Copies of this chain bind each other. A is one copy, B any other.
């Protein structure tokens, strides 16, 4: 399974980066191959100063070795060996009318001392962070997520949509990072779903990514905007930074377990502002976004 999934994310990285380059039309991804001292490594691809994408990364990695102490505590296990691979992407567009997107699909294995697999699971998801709210865009994104889920289980979309709203909650701000999408973790064999079924599910979600996001980009990338919209985008990007550095488990694990810092922190936006006690005007578009972030909505109903 690990070879199969790694081949999948290798190919998906190629598909996604080439499609994003086409959409951008100006910048191309630069690639960095890196090795992890304790075992494994990755292929980081970053785009900067594009016509559409101000900064973004589409990274794959496959790491293995002894499970770091901090992860032992987190998983509640003793010393063990592990393997983990995944694709992570974040895209920060230039135009504040185009939403930021994040996605991650990953596979994890743990081994006993004889090298036998004792545990394995998939995890991942994708979520959207708009600066200005176009309801039809959010509905499109969620509809694609739902379609991918519905092909595998009628409860998956509701369950993983709710988990996404819970996970990407900036608790110190009492608001969501964005308008959600999917978040699933510890997808292990059950009566109904074997590992092969989970593989089919996760790859269906991964395959749906471009369909969920690119049409939104194409629709919004040429929209006119003023400096006040860019300022609002940069203030909201500050909340993105706060979530990633204060709450995001993936980022914090990476920082505390000797991950490749530049690959982890490629998720941080290119330009950011913090203003003291900033509040948008009542009933403005910015205000409307905040209301939705404070009260996550159902985006697939009527």
Contacts and interface: CB of A to CB of B under 8 A. Distances in A.
Given A55-B275, A238-B268, A265-B274, 8 more contacts: A32-B277, A57-B276, A172-B261, A173-B261, A234-B271, A246-B246, A268-B274, A269-B274
A247 to B, nearest CB: 9
Given A261-B172, A276-B262, A241 B246 contact: no
A48 B241 CA distance: 21
B242 A276 contact: no
A277 B262 contact: yes
Interface string A247-264: 000001001100001100
Interface centre among A241, A270, A274, A276 (most CB of B within 10 A): A276
Interface of A: 32, 46, 48, 55, 57, 172-173, 234, 238, 241-242, 245-246, 252, 255-256, 261-262, 265-266, 268-277
18 contacts: A32-B277, A46-B276, A48-B276, A55-B275, A57-B276, A172-B256, A173-B261, A234-B271, A241-B241, A242-B245, A245-B245, A246-B246, A262-B276, A268-B274, A271-B271, A271-B272, A272-B273, A272-B274
A270 B273 contact: yes
A246 B255 contact: yes
Nearest to A258: B172
Contacts of A238: 268
A77 to B, nearest CB: 22
Contacts of A274: 55, 265, 268-270, 272
B255 A172 contact: yes
Contacts of A46: 276-277
A55 B277 CA distance: 12
Contacts of A273: 270-272
Contact of A270 (B246, B266, B275): B275
Contacts of A272: 241, 271-274
